[in-house]
Amino acid sequence: MKIGVIGAGVMGRGIAQVSAMAGHKVVLFDINHDTLVTAQEGIEKNLNKAIELGKLDADGKFKTLANLQYSNSIADVKVDMVIEAIIERLDIKAKVLADLAEINGENTIYASNTSSIPLTQIAASFAFPKQVVGIHYFNPAHIMKLVEVISAEQTDPKVLEQAKEYVNSVNKTCIAAKDAPGFIVNRVARHFYVEGLKILEEDVTTHEVIDDLIRASGFKMGPFQLMDLIGVETNLSVTESMYALFNYDQKFRPNRIQQKKVQAGYYGRKSGKGFYNYDK
């Protein structure tokens, strides 16, 4: 299967990497050339790390890289399945998917990696609504094993099954979810971030202590470390979306501390500063 991944940010490059490692031909598209260069460097770094850990050999790296094409021309994205991993804005997703529909037609599968926008809403304005499905990876995509496959109201059952087959082909654990706000994992995990921020806002303790306690409880990362990894602005965008989708239920309320970080441009690892400082 030939896969087109739209958006070469941290999530997009991870999806491209695991797809290529599984033997799929992949076109990784981004309008920003520098983002594509960073993505290529990041993927090669991940592959080298996998070799160091004994999880990949040199031949596997060579084959993976041979399966990858980097492009800032959307015309190159003529594929069997599109997976978009761009900004969490319905208008932008709709525009990009409409452009891809003109290139690919009605037989391509159009998957969204959205964390919070209803798939039914994405499909409603799309030329081929039966071909829309959700394939929701978790960050970092090349490490996290779980992937949610979400069916919109309009999704053809055959498309849903093909999406599941794709997820299984990249050696991920596939779970099927209904099209509900936050699906399953983000709905549960939202409070991991929101409550951590609330504790910080109430000056109960520092974000470092919160992260230390969470790790001591068995989690690999605390909420503030994870927000920095995902992107503080991305995490906030998902929270804002879910807050609205749940009719402004206060348990999903975005936090002012996080909002200020975003306003300052402190997005986490990608910007060199978030809740922690990083060497760029």
| Structure confidence by residue, pLDDT tens digits, 90-107 | 999 999 999 999 999 999
Q: Per-residue pLDDT tens for 29-62?
A: 999 999 999 999 999 999 999 999 999 999 999 9
pLDDT of amino acid 93 = 95
Catalytic residue (one of 115, 116, 139, 237): 115
- Catalytic entry in 148, 235, 241, 255: 148
Active site annotation includes 207: no
**148 catalytic, yes or no?**
yes
Write down the pLDDT at residue 201. 96
Active site residue 151: no
Which tens digits make up the pLDDT trace of 201-239? 999 999 999 999 999 999 989 999 999 988 999 899 889
- Rounded to 10°, the helix 185-201/232-245 angle is 110
Choice among 104, 186, 235, 255 that is catalytic: 186
- Tell me if 134 sits within 8 A of 152, measured CB to CB: yes
**For the segment 110-166, what is each residue's pLDDT rounded down to a tens digit?**
999 998 889 999 999 999 999 999 999 998 899 899 999 999 999 999 999 999 999
Residue whose pair of structure tokens reads 């053809």 in the numeric block: 156
Pairing of strands 25-29, 2-6: parallel
Task: Give the start-to-end residue ranges of the domains of the chain.
Answer: 2-178, 187-269
- Residue 215: how many CB atoms within 10 A of its CB? 13
How many of the other CB atoms lie within 10 Å of CB of 254? Answer: 20
Question: Among the CATH numbers 3.40.640.10, 3.40.630.10, 3.40.50.300, 1.10.1040.50, which is that of 187-269?
Answer: 1.10.1040.50
The single residue of 88, 113, 116, 136 carrying the catalytic annotation is 136
Inform me whether the pLDDT recorded for 280 exceeds 80.
no
174's CB contacts (< 8 A; 6+ apart) are 147, 149, 164, 167, 168
Looking at residue 182, what is its pLDDT?
A: 87
CATH homologous superfamily of 2-178? NAD(P)-binding Rossmann-like Domain (3.40.50.720)
